[in-house]
Structure 1
Amino acid sequence: MNSPRTGGSLRDLRQSNAIRVLDLIANQGPMHRAEMARRANISRTTITTITRDLVERGVLAEQPDRANGKEIDGRAGEQLAFSPKAGWIAGISQILDRICVRITDLMGQEVSSTDGPVGATDGWRVRAEAAVDLLDSALRKGGGDRGDLLGVGIGLPGQINPVDGIVHGALADQPWNGINARAEMNRRLGIPVFIENNVRLETIAEAKWGAAQGIQDLMYVNMSSGIAAGFLFGSELFRGALGGAGELGHVSIDVNGPACRCGNRGCLVLFAGAPAILRRLEATLGPSATMSEVLAASASGDRASQNVLAEAGSMVGRLLASMCNLLNPQRIVVGGQTSLAGPVILDPIRDNITRFALTPSASLDVVASALGGGPEAGAAGGAALALSKLTTSPQMLSRLLDYTRATAS
C-alpha cells in the first residue's frame, strides 16, 4: 500500500505530466500520442493514461490528422487537440478611439469578435466599462457567457509594469496613466486577466498568426497616431525592466526640433505620426482630413500625399537603421493605419535601412503586417497572450479542469 506521502508524490507526478501534455498542445497544436511521448520524454503507456483521462474530462478531443492521415508508429493517425467545448479565451485591445474584442477556443480558432467606438477624451472608467460591455456582447454572439471564459488578455497604450500591472504613460494625460489596470479589470470580470501594452500584443499576434511566424528575433513597428515598437528576442517578448520598452515615437531625431508633450524635443512622432502627416497636408486636403482620406488620396495618385508619406517613411527608416545596428533583428514587420499606404511608405523604410544599417542588418526583411496592425491584431494578440498562460496560471488551469468537468457531467 502506498503511504500518503508516496500517494501524494504520484498524484503530483500525474498532474505534472498532464500539464506537460496540455502545454505541448497549447504551444505546438494538435499532436499524436506517440509524438507527445517523444517530446515530453514520457512513456507511451503513461501518455495513453493521461490523455484518456483528459478526453473523458472533456479537455481534449481526438481529430483526424488532416495533413496526411497516415499511421504513426503503426497506429491510426488520430491527433489530440483541445476540445471545442473545453472553454474560451478572450483578447481585448484599446486604442484612442476604439476597442476590439476577439473570442477564441483553446486552439486559437475564432468564436466571435466585435468592436465599438470610445471617446478620445473618455477616462479609464468609461473605457473599462465599455470593454466589459463589448466582451459580454461578443460572448453572447458566440452563444456563451463569462462562465465559458478561462482568461482574458488586454492591451492598453502606455508603459505597463509587468510586476504590479500599473500603467505609466509616456504622456501623463493618457487615460490609464497611474491605474492598476490588471486589478481593475480583474475586479470587473472575476476571471484571470493579463495586461500588456497594445503594440506588444500586436507583436505577439504577428508572431503567432501573421507575417512573423517562425521568426525568433523580430522588431514590430506600429505607425498610426503614435509610433511604437514591439520586440521578440529568441521568441521571447521583451518588455524592459519596468515595461517601458518600445517607445519609438519618443526617440529624439532632432534635439533642436519642436517640443513634444513628453518633455523631449524633436521626437519622431512629431514628424512621422499621423497628426504630423495630417498637418502637413492641410493645404491640399483641408484641416478636417482624416488618415483614411490621406491613404485614399495617395492610392489615387495624389503626389502631395505620397510625398508626405514617403518622407515619414524615410524618417522612420533612418531610425530603424540605427535600431538594426543595435539589435540585428531577423525581420521588421510594419503595421498600423499609416502602413496601409503600402509601398509608398514601406519602400522608403527599406531604402533607408539598406543605406544606413550595417551589413547584415541592411539585408533583413521589412514586410507589411499580415493582420493590419491595429486593435483587431491587438485583440488577437491578447487571446494569444492569455492562451500562453493556460498551464502556468493556477487559476486558469483550475478553471479549465473545473469547467470541463462541469460540462462533461
Structure 2
Amino acid sequence: MATRRGIPPRGTPFEVVRTLLEEGGMHRAELARHLQTSRATITNTITTLLEQGLVEPETLTSDTATGDGKAPLKEKLVLARRAGIIGAAIHQDDSTIVGLGEVDGRVISTRALPCSPDATGPERISTALTALRELLDELPAPHPPLHGLHVAPNTLVNRYTGEVLGGATSTRWSKVNIRDEYEEGLGTAVVLENLARHAAYAQYGALESPLPRNLLHVSLSFGVALGQVLDGRIISGAHGGAGELGHVSIDSNGPICRCSHRGCLFNYAGADNVLEESRIVTGTALSLDEAIDLALAGDDRVVSIFSRAGAAVGMALNPVCNLLDPDLILIGGRLARAGDVILDPLRDALFRSALPLFGRDLRIEPAATLTDQALVHASLRALRLDVDLAAAVLAAHDPATVDAS
C-alpha cells in the first residue's frame, strides 16, 4: 500500500517486526529513527503488536529495573516468545546437528545425530526430520508455529532451488532436492546455505569486538572450501556457490581433479591427499588424526606433507586476497588441528607475494572450536535476516497486518 503521494508507508507492523528480527531489541525512539518515521506512528504500531502478543518489553535485570521493580519508561522492545519458532539442520561429514530457537535467535534445544560419512542425503534428511519433530513435540503445548528452517548441507547446492550441483560429496546427495524434502517434511519455509558459508558465519558470531569488516573462513578437511562474511552478511553468490576454493587451480599441469580440471587445490591440500601421502611415507594405515599427531610430534616425513599442503593453500589464497581484500582469515576444518605445522607455511606462501594494501594488516589465525549450540545459533541468526520471516510471523497471527510495501 502507498500513500497518496506514492511514498510507501513507514513504521508498519511488517517493518517493525523485520527491524527487530534483524537488529534485535530497540527503544521506540530508536525504531522511529531507524525507520525514518514519527514516534506517534511507531507508538500506534507497537500498541497493535503488543495487543497481538508479538512484541514485549525486554526482560528486566537489576541494571534496567527501577527502584519499585517496574519497567523503565523507555524500555527496549523485543519480539515475544510466542511470536514463533525457527529451526536449524546442519549436515557435517560425520554428524547432523538440529535445533530449535525463538524467532529472536535464542536457542531452545539442540541435538547431535552421529552418522556415517557415507550416509546418503535422503538418509541424513530423514534422520534430521525425525529429530526436529521430536524436539517440537517436547515443547510445552500449545507451542508457537514453526516459521522457518535454516539448512546447511555439506554439498554444493543452489540455495534458491535446492538442486545439488556438484562437488566431492554430491554423489551422496544425488537425486534429492534438499529444499523440497525439508519443506514437505515440516511444512515450513526453508533457507539453504552451504556448510562452508555457514561455518564462516558461525565463526564470525563467535568473535569479539572489534569485528572484522571482511572475514574469510577456510575449511581444510576432506573438501577445501571458503566462506566470506562481509559487514556481517554471508556472501553466497548468485546461486549459493561462492567460495569453492578447492577447485581453484594452482598448477595448470597438475593432476586431473575429479571435477575434470587440472591442478585443483583440493588435490594438494584435501585431507584425502594428505592422508594418503602420510600413509605412503610411514608405511602404515594411519587415520587422519594419527597423521596429525605425528606432524605435531615433529615427524619430519609427515611435517613436510602438511607443510606442502599449507603452502598450496597460501598460493591459492593470494589471488583471492587480491580480489576480496579481507582483514581476517580463519583456518578451520580437520587439518587445522595441525596448528602452525600447516599455518606457518600457509602464511609464508601468502605473504611472500601479498600486495601491501591487504598484506600489511591481514591476520591469519586458527578458527575457534564451536559448540553445537553456537552452530545452531548461527543458523537462527542467518534465518532472522530473511525478509520472508517477518511476513510469516505476522501472517500467523493476523494476515491483515502483513504489509511488505
Q: TM-score, normalised by structure 1?
A: 0.83
Range that drifts further, 263-272 or 75-84? 75-84
Q: What percent identity do the matched residue pairs reach?
A: 30
Out of 319, 322, 325, the position equivalent to 1:325 is 322
Distance 1:233 1:6, change over 3 A: closer
Alignment correspondent of 1:56: 51
1:259-408, aligned counterparts within 5 Å? 259-283=256-280, 287-363=284-360, 364-372=362-370, 379-389=376-386, 391=388, 394-399=391-396, 401=397
SS of the residue corresponding to residue 50 of structure 1 reads helix
1:24-63, aligned counterparts within 5 Å? 24-63=19-58
- Given that 1:159 and 1:167 are in contact with CA atoms closer than 8 Å, whether structure 2 keeps it comes out as yes
Match of 1:34, as an amino acid? A
- CA distance in 2 between counterparts of 1:382 and 1:259 reads 36
Distance 1:89 1:292, change over 3 A: farther
Distance 1:375 1:303, change over 3 A: farther
Range that drifts further, 360-369 or 387-396? 387-396
- CA distance in 1 between counterparts of 2:129 and 2:4 reads 41
- CA distance in 1 between counterparts of 2:331 and 2:181 reads 32
Superposition deviation, residue 8 in structure 1 = 12
- CA distance in 1 between counterparts of 2:222 and 2:294 reads 18
Distance 1:60 1:394, change over 3 A: closer
SS of the residue corresponding to residue 344 of structure 1 reads helix
- Given that 2:221 and 2:271 are in contact with CA atoms closer than 8 Å, whether structure 1 keeps it comes out as yes
- CA distance in 2 between counterparts of 1:376 and 1:257 reads 41
Does 2:183 match 1:186? yes
Distance 1:221 1:145, change over 3 A: farther
Alignment correspondent of 1:20: 15
- Given that 1:224 and 1:273 are in contact with CA atoms closer than 8 Å, whether structure 2 keeps it comes out as yes
Superposition deviation, residue 152 in structure 1 = 0.4
Superposition deviation, residue 389 in structure 1 = 1.7
- Given that 2:89 and 2:151 are in contact with CA atoms closer than 8 Å, whether structure 1 keeps it comes out as yes
Distance 1:325 1:153, change over 3 A: same
Out of 228, 234, 249, the position equivalent to 1:231 is 228
- CA distance in 2 between counterparts of 1:293 and 1:111 reads 37
- Given that 1:157 and 1:169 are in contact with CA atoms closer than 8 Å, whether structure 2 keeps it comes out as no
Match of 1:398, as an amino acid? A
Structure 1 alignment gaps of length 5 or more: none
Alignment correspondent of 1:170: 167
CA RMSD of aligned residues (A): 3.5
SS of the residue corresponding to residue 360 of structure 1 reads helix
Superposition deviation, residue 151 in structure 1 = 0.7
Does 2:73 match 1:83? no
Does 2:249 match 1:252? yes
- CA distance in 2 between counterparts of 1:115 and 1:237 reads 24
Structure 2 alignment gaps of length 5 or more: 67-71
Superposition deviation, residue 392 in structure 1 = 5.3
- Given that 1:91 and 1:101 are in contact with CA atoms closer than 8 Å, whether structure 2 keeps it comes out as yes
- Given that 2:18 and 2:390 are in contact with CA atoms closer than 8 Å, whether structure 1 keeps it comes out as no
SS of the residue corresponding to residue 93 of structure 1 reads strand
Instruction: List per-residue Cα deviations over 1:311-334 (Å, max 9, x = no partner).
Output: 322211121122111221232222
**Could you list the runs of 4 or more consecutive aligned residues of structure 1 that deviate by over 6 angstroms after TM superposition?**
5-9, 374-377
Out of 84, 89, 94, the position equivalent to 2:91 is 94
Distance 1:306 1:80, change over 3 A: farther
Match of 1:55, as an amino acid? L
Distance 1:286 1:26, change over 3 A: farther
Superposition deviation, residue 182 in structure 1 = 0.9
- CA distance in 2 between counterparts of 1:213 and 1:161 reads 33
Superposition deviation, residue 105 in structure 1 = 1.9
Instruction: List per-residue Cα deviations over 1:89-126 (Å, max 9, x = no partner).
Output: 21111133321113222232221111112333333221
Instruction: List per-residue Cα deviations over 1:258-301 (Å, max 9, x = no partner).
Output: 22211122221111111112112215766543333334444455
Alignment correspondent of 1:127: 124
Superposition deviation, residue 154 in structure 1 = 0.4
Distance 1:86 1:392, change over 3 A: closer
Superposition deviation, residue 54 in structure 1 = 2.0
Matched residues, number: 392
Instruction: List per-residue Cα deviations over 1:183-209 (Å, max 9, x = no partner).
Output: 121111111111221111222223344
SS of the residue corresponding to residue 90 of structure 1 reads strand
- Given that 2:321 and 2:358 are in contact with CA atoms closer than 8 Å, whether structure 1 keeps it comes out as yes
Q: TM-score, normalised by structure 2?
A: 0.83
1:188-207, aligned counterparts within 5 Å? 188-207=185-204
Distance 1:177 1:247, change over 3 A: farther
Distance 1:345 1:213, change over 3 A: farther
- Given that 1:65 and 1:77 are in contact with CA atoms closer than 8 Å, whether structure 2 keeps it comes out as no
Superposition deviation, residue 35 in structure 1 = 1.6
- Given that 2:86 and 2:380 are in contact with CA atoms closer than 8 Å, whether structure 1 keeps it comes out as yes
Match of 2:367, as an amino acid? S
Instruction: List per-residue Cα deviations over 1:149-198 (Å, max 9, x = no partner).
Output: 22101011333224422121135852224532211211111111112211
